[in-house]
A and B are shown apart, each in its own frame.
Chain A
Amino acid sequence: MSKANLLDRRQVVSALLANRKDVVAIGGLGASTNDITAAGDHARNFYLWGGMGGAAMIGLGLALAQPKLPVLVITGDGEMLMGMGSLATIGLQKPSNLSIVVLDNEAYGETGGQTSHTCAAADLVGVARACGIADACAISTMAEVETFAKAVHDLSAGPRFANVKIDSANVERILPSRDGTYIVNRIRGDLGFKPI
C-alpha cells in the first residue's frame, strides 16, 4: 500500500504539536484523532469520535470565541470532503487564528481503505483557495510541515490550510478518551471557564 516519498502521519502530527504552547488542537473523526493522541494527551486536545464533517466548524467556533489562541484542526481527507462547505464558511469569516491541516491518504482508512475523491480528482488545496482561504498549500516534505507548525502561532495571518499527502499504511491505534463531556470540560477548564 505504501508509496515512496509520502510522509508518515505520526511524524507529521508530532511535528505540528511538538512546540504547541497554547494551541487548541481538534482531531477529526478517524485516524487523525488517534494521531493527536499518539503525539501526547493534552488538556487542549479536542478528540472527535463522531460528527463526521464537523471538525473544521468546531475549529471556527473556537477560533472566533478565542481570537488570541491558535486553533489547529487536524483531520483526514474523507472528513474534510464531508464538510467541504465549511471551507466556504471559514473563507468568508477569515478567522486569523485558525489553521487546518488535512492528512490526505486518499482513502477511507477506518472502513477498509476504499479510495476517496482526492485519489484521482478532488484538489482540496484548490477548493480551500477558491473559497477565500488565500494561504492554502500542498505539503510534501517535513521541512514544510515544520514551517507550517511555526506559522500556526502567527495569529494575524490566518486562516491557513495545508493538505499533506501521507502514507496510507495502517499504524497502531492509540485511542483517546471517548467521553465528550470530559473532553470539552477539560478544555474549558484549561481556558479558565468554570462549570455551569
Chain B
Amino acid sequence: MHARADASDTALTWPDDIFATLERFDVRQVPYVPDAGHSKLIQRVLASSTMRGIPLTTEEEGVALLAGAWTGGQRGVLLMQSSGVGNCVNMLSLIPVLRFPFLTLVTMRGEWGEFNPWQVPMGSTTQGVLELSGIKVLRASTAAEVPAVMEAAAAQAYNALTPTAVLLSQRLIGAKVFTK
C-alpha cells in the first residue's frame, strides 16, 4: 500500500545527519507536529539526553515556544510538514520583531509524484509563504546533500540570526502511494 520508504527505517541515514547537526549546534528544545518523514528524527530527539521533544497541537505553538526558549537562553528547532507552514503565518511575525534564532525543518508534500490532491495547494505555496514571511529557504532533494544543507542552515540561523527553513523534498523522503 505504501511505496514510500518508512522514514523510521533504520537504514535511512539522513535523519541521523540532521540529528548530529542539531546536537553540534546545542539545540535543546524540539517542538514538532509529527510527520512520517520526520519520524526517525523524532525518535532520536525523544531518546536524547540533551534535547527535549515537545509535541504540539498546532505548528504556530512552536514558533512562540522558540521565542520563549531563546529568551531563557536555549536554542530550538521546529519540525513540521508543509501543511503546517500555513498554520504558522501570523505567529511568524514574532521572528523579526523579537529577533530570535529561528530554524524549521519542513517535510514536503504536494510535489514530486504526489498522490493526494488535498496536499497540493499548501505544498505549492509553502516556499512562497515562508519567503513572504521573511524566512530564507534552503532545500535538500537527495540524502547526499542533507549534511551540507543542514550545516549551512543551522550556521546562518544560530550565528547570524537569519530565519531559515529547510525543505526536505518529497523526492528525498519518498512519495506516499495508496494506489497503483
Contact = CB atoms under 8 A, between A and B. Distances in A.
A binds B: yes
Interface in B56-74: 56-58, 60-74
A191 B72 CA distance: 8
A195 B39 CA distance: 35
Q: Which 7 A-B pairs have the closest CB atoms?
A: A61-B68, A65-B72, A85-B57, A54-B64, A57-B64, A58-B68, A61-B69
Contacts of A58: 64-65, 67-68, 71
Contacts of B54: 60, 64, 89, 93
Interface stretch (A44-52, A112-120, A166-174): A44-52
* Dominant secondary structure of chain B at its interface with chain A: helix
B82 interface: no
B61 A65 contact: no
Given A54-B60, A93-B54, 20 more contacts: A51-B91, A55-B64, A57-B65, A59-B68, A61-B70, A61-B71, A61-B76, A64-B74, A65-B68, A66-B73, A83-B61, A85-B56, A86-B61, A88-B57, A89-B54, A89-B61, A180-B97, A181-B97, A184-B67, A191-B72
Given A50-B94, A54-B64, A66 B57 contact: no
Given A54-B67, A61-B64, A193 B73 contact: yes
B69 A52 contact: no
Nearest to A192: B73
A157 interface: no
Contacts of B74: 61, 64-65
B97 A64 contact: no
A184 B90 CA distance: 19
A65 B68 CA distance: 8
Nearest to A188: B71
Interface residues of A, number: 36
A176 interface: no
A196 interface: yes
Interface string A79-90: 000010110110
A26 B72 CA distance: 12
Interface in A126-144: none
B94 A180 contact: yes
The interface centre, meaning the residue of B62, B63, B69, B93 with most chain A CB atoms within 10 A of its CB, is B69
The interface centre, meaning the residue of B60, B66, B159 with most chain A CB atoms within 10 A of its CB, is B60
A92 B74 CA distance: 20
Contacts of A83: 61, 64
A194 to B, nearest CB: 10
A59 B67 CA distance: 9
A83 B59 CA distance: 11
A164 B60 CA distance: 26
A121 B39 CA distance: 38
A24 B73 CA distance: 13
